[in-house]
Amino acid sequence: MAAHSHKRYLPWWLLLGAALLFAGKAQAYERIASLNLCLDQVLLHWAKPADIVSLTWLSGAEQYRSLPIPQHVQLNRARAEELLPLQPDLVLAGQYGAQRAAQRLQTLGVHVVTIPDAYSLEQLQQQLDALEQVLGPLAPLQRQKRALSGLLEQSTGGGRPTAVILSANNITYGSGMLEHQLLQRAGFENLASGQGLGRISLEEVIALRPDLLVFYGSEQHFALAYLAARHPVLQRYIDSGRTYTLPSQLSLCPVLAVVDTLQQLMDKRETLVKAQ
């Protein structure tokens, strides 16, 4: 599974306020650099390729690569001296990591904006607002904002199928986690809701008899064929279509994955309710 940050450090709203304050009214930036893996992905998906001058070296790694990196973009290892010769007019930094480089660049007069991390649907909406405030009204970003707002306004109607998330190393996701919130918003009852971020054995999952078994992780770390071989009941879940796999992008950069994930879970719930 892709690296998943389980930190729930707050106050994120203070960092958001600072980001909006320093960003001011969005202007057109033509030389944007990133010191954060998720923000790398945001730029690759939503910004004009010609406006990107540098991304972190992690975005060039196979396990994190989601889109081709334009040839002119230089990869950095979060060192200020790497970015200064590129003369960026905007550097995006995350809430955690690369703080020394961000502070050094600010001291040298480079425009640096910190985008707070997001660990809930509400915080993701705030993060989208912060990104729009800094980057301007980028069409893909605005589509994501509208789509997320629209999904959160939808009612799932009657019937709440049950679900359990099972990740690598028997990790499950309950209250206080974005993954749990997505299940709830999609109209599911999470049978591990009281566990927070905890562990649950495969045998316990089977005993709970959820309507939907949700897997979390990449194929190389969490292969369904391997799990099915461990327990025959899992094969019945797979054969009946009562499984769903959360995308690894949800742990890497949830702001990019949240809309598709929530829509797919809603569709899955509708299918299960009709089949009951």
Q: What is the reported pLDDT for 206?
A: 86
Q: Is 163 helix (H, G, I), strand (E, B) or coil?
A: strand
Which amino acid appears at position 105 of this protein? Answer: L
Please answer whether residues 47 and 25 qualify as being in contact, where contact means their C-beta atoms are separated by less than 8 angstroms: no
| 101-116 per-residue burial string, b: 16 or more CB within 10 A, e: under 16 | bbebbbeeebbbbbbb
Q: What is the reported pLDDT for 45?
A: 96
Q: What is the reported pLDDT for 2?
A: 38
Q: What is the reported pLDDT for 223?
A: 58
State percent of the chain over pLDDT 90.
Answer: 63
Report the sign of the C-alpha dihedral through residues 24, 106, 98, 198, in that order.
negative
pLDDT digits (tens, 9 = 90+) for 99-139: 899 999 999 999 999 999 999 999 999 999 999 999 999 99
Q: What is the reported pLDDT for 10?
A: 43
Instruction: Show the low-confidence residues of the chain (pLDDT under 70).
Output: 1-27, 217-230
Q: What is the reported pLDDT for 1?
A: 37
Taken in order of first residue, the domains within the chain and their CATH numbers are 12-151 (3.40.50.1980), 158-275 (3.40.50.1980)
Distance, CA of 76 to CA of 33 (rounded, Å): 9
Q: What is the reported pLDDT for 64?
A: 86
Q: Is the pTM of this model over 0.75?
A: yes
Q: What is the reported pLDDT for 238?
A: 84
Distance, CA of 11 to CA of 165 (rounded, Å): 28
Task: Report the relative pairing of strands 90-94 and 112-115 from DSSP bridges.
Answer: parallel
| β-pair partners for 74 | 54
